Chains A and B, each alone.
Chain A
Amino acid sequence: MTTPHSEFFKGVKGILPILLGVFPFGLIYGVSARGAGLSASITQVMSSIVFAGSAQFVMVQLISAGIPAGIILLTTGIINLRHTLYSASVASYLKHLRTGWKLLLAYLLTDEAYAVVITHYQQPDESAYKHWYFLGAGLGLWTTWQASTATGVLLGAQIPASWSLDFALPLTFIAVVVPVLKHRVDGIVAMVAGSCAVVAVHLPLNSGLLIATFIGIGVGMLLPTKNRKTFSDEVENGSRRSEGVRSGEGERKQ
């Protein structure tokens, strides 16, 4: 039986190992932002107002290079465009929630939180309170991001690049994606998307990432699967479960 509390702490637990990869990332962001000449307050505030690691990194470089604001806005917009995919894939699980929840959870929808949360939503276990898991994971990430940014700002330029701390972030994604590759088509999608992204890396405004993503998704949709019904069922079950909860079915089960 799950409660909001139990789901919340499961969310914190779930994101905890991810934070191991996020902390150095935030650290490096704080250090490099100061190194590029940004003030401590701007550096720190960006981590809460923008709250998107890769966009923040790019912004730091573009701001210090004196690039016009319009171009920076466009570039970061395209970098963050993948978040519409996160939003779309998570929306059905949040449909039944009050607007306040949607507003809050959407703010917390980062790469890392999304990876952990969507995996949890796709598990077959029933719980009416998975949005609390989302909240726990999201808040865990948010506080770590603020803390690591602050630490980076304080430490200044004292972290050597040879430590390669930035490698912790791709490691984090590997740690989350690999266990999710259950069917052969999943592995194929991963390889296709990854390879396309490598090939398309020099496309302007980071568009290679999105193109690679869509190609990967397209390939996955086109490939025959053993049991075609299963996949759309998973997603529909997700939203049906959420609706069922609102009409009391979930409570009866528990």
Chain B
Amino acid sequence: MTTWLLIVGVGLFTYAIRLSFILFFSKAEKLPPFLLRGLRFVPIAVLSAITLPQLLLPKDVIDLSLRNPRWIAGILAALVAWRTRNVFLTIVVGMAGLWLLQLLF
């Protein structure tokens, strides 16, 4: 029973967070321009902060050796993304690269 309550609680909390600026704070209309400029960097900063640890820290310790093929596969994927701008291709090449490296090392 408490688990269900917890889930609903987390769900509502999460929803409120997502709704925050869209509904509640929209009355705070005109943000100062320098803050607006900052908003532009939100997707880049957040997604990089999520992703880089997943590439470099397979077991919570920085591992740049060949035993952690993720950062190499990640660089490969970044190159593909850079050149082709194709999401599907990037994911496929990245996974293939990872599997290949895992086989080899």
A binds B: yes
A84 and B17 in contact, given A111-B50, A193-B45 (Cβ under 8 angstroms): yes
A residues in contact (CB < 8 Å) with B: 16-18, 20-21, 42, 45-46, 49-52, 54-55, 59, 63, 69, 72-73, 76-77, 80-91, 94-95, 99, 102-103, 105-107, 109, 111, 114-115, 118-119, 122, 162, 164, 167-181, 186, 189-198, 201-202, 209, 212-214, 216-218, 220-221, 228, 231-232, 234-236
Chain B residue with Cβ nearest A194: B52
What are some 29 contacts across the A-B interface (CB < 8 A)? A16-B88, A17-B87, A50-B11, A73-B13, A77-B14, A83-B18, A86-B18, A88-B25, A89-B39, A89-B40, A106-B22, A106-B23, A111-B50, A114-B43, A169-B54, A170-B51, A171-B94, A175-B94, A177-B81, A179-B85, A180-B44, A186-B44, A189-B45, A190-B44, A197-B49, A197-B53, A198-B56, A228-B37, A235-B39
Encode B87-105 as 1/0 by CB contact (under 8 A) with A.
1101110110011001000
A201 and B60 in contact, given A90-B22, A106-B19, A172-B91 (Cβ under 8 angstroms): yes
Residues of chain B in range 2-29 having any CB-CB distance to chain A below 8 Å: 2-11, 13-15, 17-23, 25-26
For B36, list chain A residues within 8 Å (CB): 231-232, 235-236
B65: shortest Cβ distance to chain A, in Å?
A: 16
For A17, list chain B residues within 8 Å (CB): 86-88, 91
A171 and B95 in contact, given A196-B49, A198-B52 (Cβ under 8 angstroms): yes
Q: Establish whether residues A95 and B43, one from each chain, have CB atoms under 8 Å apart when the complex forms.
A: no
Once bound together, how far apart are the Cα atoms of A197 and B46, in whole Å? 10
Q: Establish whether residues B43 and A189, one from each chain, have CB atoms under 8 Å apart when the complex forms.
A: no
A225: shortest Cβ distance to chain B, in Å?
A: 9
B residues in contact (CB < 8 Å) with A: 2-11, 13-15, 17-23, 25-26, 33-34, 36-57, 60, 62, 70, 73-74, 77-78, 81-82, 85-88, 90-92, 94-95, 98-99, 102
Once bound together, how far apart are the Cα atoms of A45 and B4, in whole Å? 9
A172 and B87 in contact, given A76-B14, A91-B22 (Cβ under 8 angstroms): yes
Chain A residue with Cβ nearest B19: A106
- Checking A49, A72, A82, A192 against B8 with a beta-carbon cut-off of 8 angstroms, the contacting residue is A49
Once bound together, how far apart are the Cα atoms of A122 and B42, in whole Å? 13
Q: Establish whether residues B18 and A87, one from each chain, have CB atoms under 8 Å apart when the complex forms.
A: yes
Q: Establish whether residues B17 and A80, one from each chain, have CB atoms under 8 Å apart when the complex forms.
A: yes
